[in-house]
A and B are shown apart, each in its own frame.
Chain A
Amino acid sequence: MTAETRSTVRLLLGWTPVDIAVADSNQTVLQYLRDQPQLKGSKEGCAEGDCGACTVVVGALKDGAIRYSAVNACILFLPAMDGKQILSVEQVADTELHPVQQALVELHGSQCGYCTPGIVNSLLCLNLNGGAADRQAIDDALIGNLCRCTGYGPIIEAAEKACSTELSAAWKTRIAAAQKQLLSWAADDQALALETRNGPYLAPKTPDQLAAALDAHPAATLVAGATDVGLWVTKLGRSLNPLISVAEVADLQSMRLTDSHLEIGAAVTYSEAHQALSEISESLGELVRRIGSRQVRNSGTIGGNIANGSPIGDMPPALIAMGASLVLRSRAGRREIPLQDFFIEYGKQDLRPGEFVGRVLVPRKLDTFRCYKVSKRFDQDITAVLGAFNIAIENGAVVSARIAYGGMAGVPARAVGCEAALTGKPWNMKTIETAKVALDADFKPMTDMRASAAYRTLAARNLLERFYLETQNPAVALELASRNHMKGLVDG
C-alpha cells in the first residue's frame, strides 16, 4: 500500500497509549492481554464468544465521539483494536472500586469469581452508556456472561443498584482525554497494513482500497466482526493469511434510508442496525435482540451473517421473506441480486473472486410480517428452526405469501410449496392445515444436537399456525409470560 499506511497497531490500553508491533495477525485480544502486558484478569472460558469471561470494554469513535461497547476479547483479532481503547477489568477501579464492583461485593455477586471480570465489564459498559432501566435491559447486557455459581440473582441486584450511578468526575475527565487521543489518531487517516509472521493484515478505509486489496490478495480471508472468523482460529486451529478487514471502510459503516429501503453497509453491527430494523418491524427487532449476546451483536455484522452462508444464520430467512437484496462489489464494479439467490447450496454462495458484500437493501414496506426463532435455550442460542412470514391478506384471502425458513435445509430458503398452497386461498385454519402438508414437501431437515428432523418439521408447521393465530381477533395468548401476570407475582 501507499505511504498512508501504518505498520504498527496503536491503541489505548486503559488510559495509556501503546504502540504494538503485532507478531501474529491471528493473535486475539485476549491472548495479547494475558501474554504481553500480563493482565490476567480477563479469563478464557470458551474461546468462542459464548461465555463472556473474556469480556472487555472497547471505546471507539462514532460520529466524532467515543462510544463504549462490551465485546468478547477471545475471538477478536488484536489488529481490529487499532485506534481504539481497551478497558480490561484491571482498569475499572482507581483508588476506589467502581460502583458496579462495589455492588457486586456487597450483594454477593461472585462465588468462584471466574465469570466476574467479564460481568464487571458488561455492567461497566451498561453504566457508561447511561444505565439500566429494568430487568430486560440488564438481561440484554448480561445474557452473554455465563455464571455457573450464583444463579444470577445477586448480579442482577448489583446491576439494578449500580448501573445507573452517575459517572464520577474522574471518569469523565479520563474519558474526555481518551476521546481526544482517539480523535488525534483518527486525524491521520492512515490505513493499517501489517506484515506479520503469518502474513499481512490489511484494514483499508475506502471501498476502492478494499477492492484493490482483494484483487491483490485473491486468497485473503475477509473479516468484519470476527464472530464467525475468529472461531476458525480459536476452535479449528486455522491460520488465516492474509486477513483483510472490512470493518474500517467508512462507506460500509453507514446506513441510509431511502423511500423504499433501509440500506445497511456490510460493516454495520447488529447493535448499530437494531433500532432501524425494529422500526421496520418489531418482530424483526426482537429477532435481532436474540442474536447471540450483546457482545456478539456489538462486533458481528449482518453482512457477515449473510456472507458466512450458514443454514442456521438468523438474518437470511427473515430478510429473504422480506424481499431484501444484496449489493456486491468488486474492482469490476457492482451488481445487485435478490438475497435469496445468493445462497446456492450448502457452503456455496454467489460471491465471485474479488467480490465483497457492500450493502444489504432491506424493504421498508412489508405485508403482515412475523419471524419466529426457536432454539433450545431462549437466549443466546443458535436456531433450531426459524420461520419468517410476509403475507398479504385482503378481504379474507391470501394475495401473496413470502415464507422462508432457516434450519430446515442446507441453505436458508423459501417454502415454495407452502406459499403456493396459501396464495389465493381464504385465510382460515383449513387453508393453514393444507399449507402445513405442503410445507412437509418443501424441506427435508436433518437431525443434529440442536433438534431432530421430526421436531424441526413439526415446529415449522406450528410456526405457520402461530402466525395465523396472531392475525386472528380476538387474539389468543401466545406469549409465555404476559407482563401483567408477572407484575402480580413480582409485587405480590
Chain B
Amino acid sequence: MAELTRQKERIRGGVAQALAHDSASKHVTGQAVYVDDIPEPQGTLHIAVGSAAVAQGRITNLNLDAVRAAPGVVCVLTADDIPGLNDVSPTHSGDDPVLAGERVNFFGQPVFAVAAETFMQAKAAARLGVVDCAADTPVLTIDQALAKNYLISQDHEMVRGDAAAGLKAARNRLSGQMEMGGQDHFYLEGQVSMAVPMEDGDVLIHCSTQHPSEVQHNIAHVLDRPANAVTVEVRRMGGAFGGKESQAAQWAALAALVAVRTGRAAKCRLDRDDDMSLTGKRHELAGKWTVGYDDDGRITAADVEMATRCGNSKDLSDAISDRAMFHLDNAYYLDQVRILCKRLRTDTVSNTAFRGFGGPQGMMIGERMIESVARAVGKDPLDVRKLNFYGDEGRNTTPYHMQVEDFVLGDMIAELETTSDYRARRKAITAFNESSPVIKRGLALTPVKFGISFTTTFLNQAGALIHIYKDGSILLNHGGTEMGQGLFLKVAQVVAEEFQTDVDRIKITATNTAKVPNTSATAASSGTDMNGMAAMIAARTIKRRLIAFACNQYKVEESDVEFIPNQVRIGNQVVDFDDLIGQAYLNRVQLSATGFYRTPKIHYDRTTASGRPFYYFAYGAAVAEVAIDTLTGENRVLAVDILHDVGQSLNPAIDIGQIEGGFIQGMGWLTTEELWWDDSGRLRTHAPSTYKIPTCGDRPAHMKVKLWEKGRNAEATIHRSKAVGEPPLMLAMSVFHAISDALSSLDGYRTVPDLDAPATPERILMAAQKLKAKSR
C-alpha cells in the first residue's frame, strides 16, 4: 500500500499536456521504421510499372517479351493476370483498374507490372515494354472539358432562397471568376507497400496508407478472396495529407498479386517521378460568380458556378466537389444563394483527397467574391468581410440549411486585428506603396470556418481496442493511422487520462485490420475526434469492470473508487494501479475491451442538399503581409499572425505544429506549387526539381501562431477539443489575398486583380502588367 501523499502528483502525459511526438527520438536517430525500412524477407521481389506514351487511347498491341527476358525479372503481370476484380475505386465505381486492360485513360497509366530481384532491375525492365495505342486527342484542361461537357458525374446544386430574383433586386451587381491549380501531396515518403505471403494463400501487407480497411477490402476483391484473407498493417507514414487515402490501394494490390503468385514477398515502392505522375492530386477548380450587394458591401444574393477537374475516374471527386460547395460561404452569410458544381472528366490522373478535401478551393472562390465586392465599394476588405459574417440574428443559415450555432469568428477577429496591429500596418503599407514604384506591399486578414465530419454520414464511426496485461502495462490500438499528425499520442493521452497512468505505460501499436475492423479513413480531420472517443469508451468499459471488482473485493461503494495518478484510491486505501490489475486478473476480470463511437447529431439529405452534415465548425484567422516585385513578379511573405480555435487542446504542441505546417502547405498551394502538363497530357512537374513546395527560406521571418484561449467546443467532443488537421491550411488564403492587395495598389485599390492561383512570379507579373496598363 502506497502513501496517500502521492495523490497530488500529476500523471505524465494526460490531456492538454504539450508532449513531444511519441516517435520523436526515433525520428531523430533514424530508428523509426517506415514500410521501406522493414527488413525484407529473403527473396523479396521489387515491382515497377510500365505504360503507354499517350494520354487517351485504345491499346492495340502489348509486347512484353523484352521485359520478361530482362535480367532479374521473375514475373510480369497484365490485366489478364488479375484473378478477381480489376478495380480499386474507393467508391466501387469500376473505373480505377490496377492495370489498364483495353484503354489507357491518362499518360503513364500502368498497363503492366514487372517484379524483379532488385528495384533497379525492375525499373530497367519496365522501360522495355512495348505498348501501342490508337491514340485519341486527350481532353486535358477545365476549358476543354467544359467545351465538350465531358463529365465524370452529375452536376449538383445547393439552393437557398431565390438567387435570380435576389440578383435582380440587388442595388449593385458584379461578376468575376478565378481558377486555381491542383496540388501534389509531396509527402516525403512515396507510396509503398510490402506484401508477405501467408498460409492458405492469405497475404499480410505493410502499407503506407490512411485507409487500411479500404486497402484490405479492395485487395480482397482483386484477389477474389474474402476480406479475412488479407491483413493490412500501418505503423506510420512519412506524410500523407489525403494522398494515401484511396491512392495506396493500387500499389498494395500489385504487391499482393505478385506475392500470392510467386510465393515470395513483394514490394511496390513508387519512386518520386512515378509517384507524382501516377497518383492523384488536389482538384483544380474554376469558379465564376455574380453577386448582388448593397452600397455598404453587404451581399444580398449570389449565384456561383464551379467546376472541378476530376481526372479520369470518379475516385472521391463527388464528395470533394460537394465539400467545395459546402465551403463556398466560408464565414459569410449569403442571402438568396445558388451554388452549382460541375464535375469534369479529363484524361489526366484521377484527382483525389488532399487536406481540406475541396473545402479550400470553394472557400477561395468565396473569398475572391468578397474581395471583389470590397474593391467595388472602396472599403478595406476586412471591413466588408466583417459586415458579411454569420452571427447576427437571422443570418445564421448556411446554403445547405444548417444553422451556425457557435460563430466565434467575430470575437477572434477582433482580437487578431488588435494583436496584429492591422490598422496601423494598413496605413504604413499604403504610405510605403505610394513612395515605392517597384516593390509593393500588401496585407490581408482572412477567416476560416471549416465543417468537421465526413459528409458521407456512415463514415463517421470508429473503433478501438485496449488490453491491460497482468503486469499493468497497457496496449492501445485503434483504427486511426499515424502520418505525423500526432494522432497516436493524442489518443494515448486520452487513455492515460482515463486510467490516470503515465502515458509511457501505454504501448502505441500499429494500425492493423486484424485488430480493429471496418474502419474509416484517417481523414476529414476526424482522427482524434473519433478514435479518441472510441478509445475513451474502451477504457471506460475496463474501468467500470475494475470499479465493480474493487467494490466487491474491498466492500466499498462505487463512489469510493477513484483513479488517481498511477494508483487507485479504494475507500481509504490506496492501491498501485499495477497491483489492482494483478488482483483483477487473479479474480478473472476481463482486462481487454473494444470501444466504438459514432458521431451524433449529423444527417444530410443530398437530394435536397440540406441537413446537418457537420457536427461542428473549426475556426481560425490569419493576417499576412507580403511584398511583390512588379518588375519580375517575385514575392515574399514577410509576416504572418495566426489565431486558431482548437477548442480545448489535447496537446498544444501538436496542435500548433498542425497549424504551422498546414499554413505553410497552403501557402505553397497558392504561390509556388504549380502543376504543368504538356500538350500530350504528360505531367512535366513530377519531381522536386520542377515542382516547388515551400523551403525553409519561405517561412516568413515573423510568424506567430496562437491558440485561441477562449476556445471550447460547444459540442461534447473528446475533452471539448476541436479537429485541427485540415482547417489551418486555409489560413494561407491570407497570403494570396495579401498578394492581391499589393497588386491592387497599382490602380489605387479600385479593382481586384485578375489573378489565378498559384500566384507564381509569372502570374503576379502578368496581373501587374494588366493593372498598370489599365491605370495608364
Q: Give residues in A with beta carbon < 8 Å to B.
A: 38-48, 50-51, 53, 88-90, 92-93, 97, 101, 104-106, 108-117, 120, 135, 138-139, 142-143, 145-156, 235, 237, 372, 374-382, 384, 448-452, 454-455, 458-459, 462-463, 465-466, 469, 476-481, 485-486, 489-490, 492
Contacts and interface: CB of A to CB of B under 8 A. Distances in A.
B485 interface: yes
A400 to B, nearest CB: 24
Given A38-B39, A40-B37, A97-B28, A113 B484 contact: yes
Given A111-B485, A149-B661, A481 B33 contact: no
Interface size class of B (residues with CB under 8 A): 35 or more
Contacts of A115: 188
B271 A380 contact: no
A186 to B, nearest CB: 29
B189 interface: yes
Contacts of B240: 112
B93 interface: no
B695 A148 contact: no
B439 A478 contact: yes
B664 A112 contact: no
Given A112-B238, A155-B696, A150 B661 contact: yes
Interface of B: 20-21, 23-34, 36-37, 39, 120, 123-124, 127, 185-190, 236-241, 271-273, 421, 436-439, 483-486, 625, 627-629, 631-636, 638-639, 653-654, 656-657, 660-665, 672, 674, 676, 684-685, 687-690, 692-699, 701-703, 705, 760-762, 765-766, 769
Nearest to A459: B632
A111 B696 contact: no
A330 B269 CA distance: 44
B695 A377 contact: yes
Contacts of B663: 151
21 contacts: A43-B36, A45-B190, A46-B688, A46-B689, A105-B25, A109-B28, A112-B187, A113-B21, A113-B23, A113-B32, A113-B238, A114-B484, A148-B185, A152-B664, A377-B694, A449-B684, A458-B765, A480-B636, A481-B627, A485-B638, A486-B701
A458 to B, nearest CB: 6
A450 B762 CA distance: 9
A117 B239 contact: no
Q: Closest 3 interchain pairs by CB?
A: A41-B30, A112-B484, A114-B238
Given A146-B693, A153-B660, A376-B692, A481 B701 contact: yes
Given A46-B687, A146-B693, A120 B28 contact: yes
Given A105-B20, A480-B627, A113 B689 contact: no
Contacts of A382: 689-690
A463 B631 contact: yes
A240 B600 CA distance: 62
B239 A377 contact: no
A337 B705 CA distance: 56
A135 B698 CA distance: 12
Given A115-B188, A148-B188, A97 B664 contact: no
Given A46-B688, A112-B239, A476-B438, A90 B24 contact: no
Given A48-B689, A105-B20, A151 B699 contact: yes
Given A40-B30, A237-B123, A476 B437 contact: yes
Nearest to A478: B438
A156 B438 contact: no
Given A101-B28, A376-B761, A479 B439 contact: yes
B762 A481 contact: no
A108 B657 contact: yes
Given A153-B703, A480-B634, 20 more contacts: A40-B30, A43-B188, A46-B688, A47-B271, A51-B272, A93-B28, A111-B239, A112-B484, A142-B695, A143-B696, A146-B188, A146-B693, A149-B239, A151-B665, A237-B127, A375-B761, A448-B684, A449-B690, A462-B765, A476-B437
B762 A452 contact: yes
A150 to B, nearest CB: 5
A138 B695 CA distance: 12
- Residue with the greatest number of chain B CB neighbours at <10 A, chosen from A53, A379, A469: A379
A427 to B, nearest CB: 18
A150 B486 CA distance: 12
A465 B702 CA distance: 31
A114 B34 contact: yes
A393 to B, nearest CB: 20
Contacts of B694: 151-152, 377
Nearest to A139: B697
B436 A486 contact: no
B631 A146 contact: no
B444 to A, nearest CB: 16
Contact of B272 (A45, A459, A485): A45
Contact of A476 (B238, B436, B703): B436
A59 to B, nearest CB: 18
Contacts of A152: 664, 694-696, 699
A46 B661 contact: no
B21 A135 contact: no
A377 B486 contact: no
Contact of A47 (B272, B662, B672): B272
B674 A376 contact: yes
Contacts of B437: 476
A323 to B, nearest CB: 26
A114 B705 CA distance: 24
B238 A40 contact: no
Contacts of A42: 30
Given A41-B29, A106-B20, A149-B239, A112 B688 contact: no
A305 to B, nearest CB: 15
A153 B699 contact: yes
A477 B438 contact: yes
Contacts of B660: 150-151, 153-154
B699 A41 contact: no
A147 B438 CA distance: 32
A450 B632 CA distance: 14
B188 A114 contact: yes
Nearest to A451: B762
Contacts of B695: 142-143, 146, 152, 377, 379-380
Contacts of A455: 633, 761-762, 765-766
B236 A112 contact: yes
Contact of B661 (A44, A111, A145): A111
Given A110-B21, A489-B638, A378 B765 contact: no
A447 to B, nearest CB: 10
Contacts of A384: 761-762
Contacts of A489: 625, 638-639, 701-702
A290 to B, nearest CB: 10
B30 A486 contact: no
B697 A104 contact: no
Nearest to B690: A449
